[in-house]
Amino acid sequence: MKIEDKEFKLYIDRDKISSRIGEIAQAINEHYKDKNPLFVAIMNGSFMFASDLMKKVDVRSEITFIKVTSYEATQSTGNIKELIGLQENIFKRNLIIVEDIVDTGNTLNHLISEFKELGPQSIEVATLLFKPDVLKHELAIKYVGFEIPNKFVVGYGLDYDGYGRNQEDIYQLVN
């Protein structure tokens, strides 16, 4: 598949994605059965994952969205720009940060530090994709869909310069 000037090949198909999200939702349902968690979805990339995850979570819960960015083209800039911030009171709440992908961990590290100052009862992370080889921070990621190598991926919410988010499968950049 071609997106703009890059070629991508199928990497994780929609059935595997759906199945794994079901497993993550079941774990969340068991752990948060009486806790009323607040899901904090990081836009734009997590929108498909957050939507499908919430359809399978059956515990009493809420969801909110924040927007931060650190990417340009295929590289993380390392600079976190918060574009739309958290509006909800998270004091004594159980937070589950919903991410599309964790690679360096810069964004999560920044957000967790900010959220901790607001006094939540707990903060956990649910990410569809995790690149452990490039992680720069010690982060406890409780719910991981797939561990992947340090290759650029698009689809299922992830983009290349804004394109490719609408694909139902995940594609990997062809070198």
Residues identified as active-site = 103
Is the pLDDT at 75 greater than 60? The verdict is no
DSSP letter string over 134-172? G--S-----EEEEE--S--EEBTTB-BTTBSTT-SSEEE
pLDDT band at 48 (very low <50, low <70, confident <90, very high): very high
Whether 34 is covered by a domain: the verdict is no
Whether 162 is covered by a domain: the verdict is yes
Is the pLDDT at 77 greater than 60? The verdict is no
pLDDT at 175: 79
Whether 35 is covered by a domain: the verdict is no
- SS3 sequence of 46-107: CHHHHHHHHHHCCCCCEEEEEEEEEEECCEEEEEEEEEECCCCCCCCCEEEEEEEEECCCHH
pLDDT at 174: 95
The CATH code of the domain that includes 52 is 3.40.50.2020
Higher pLDDT, 48 or 175: 48
Whether 110 is covered by a domain: the verdict is yes
Whether 7 is covered by a domain: the verdict is yes
Whether 18 is covered by a domain: the verdict is yes
* Peptide bond between residue 44 and the one before it cis (omega within 30 degrees of 0): yes
Q: Where in the sequence is the domain holding 158, given as residue range(s)?
A: 2-27+46-70+88-173
pTM summary value:
0.91
Whether 83 is covered by a domain: the verdict is no
Q: For the chain, what is the mean pLDDT?
A: 92
Domain count, the chain: 1
Whether 38 is covered by a domain: the verdict is no
Q: Do the beta carbons of residue 131 and residue 150 sit within 8 Å?
A: yes
Q: Do the beta carbons of residue 158 and residue 174 sit within 8 Å?
A: no
* Segment 120-155, tens digit of pLDDT: 999 999 999 999 999 999 998 999 999 999 999 999
Strands 38-43 and 62-72: parallel
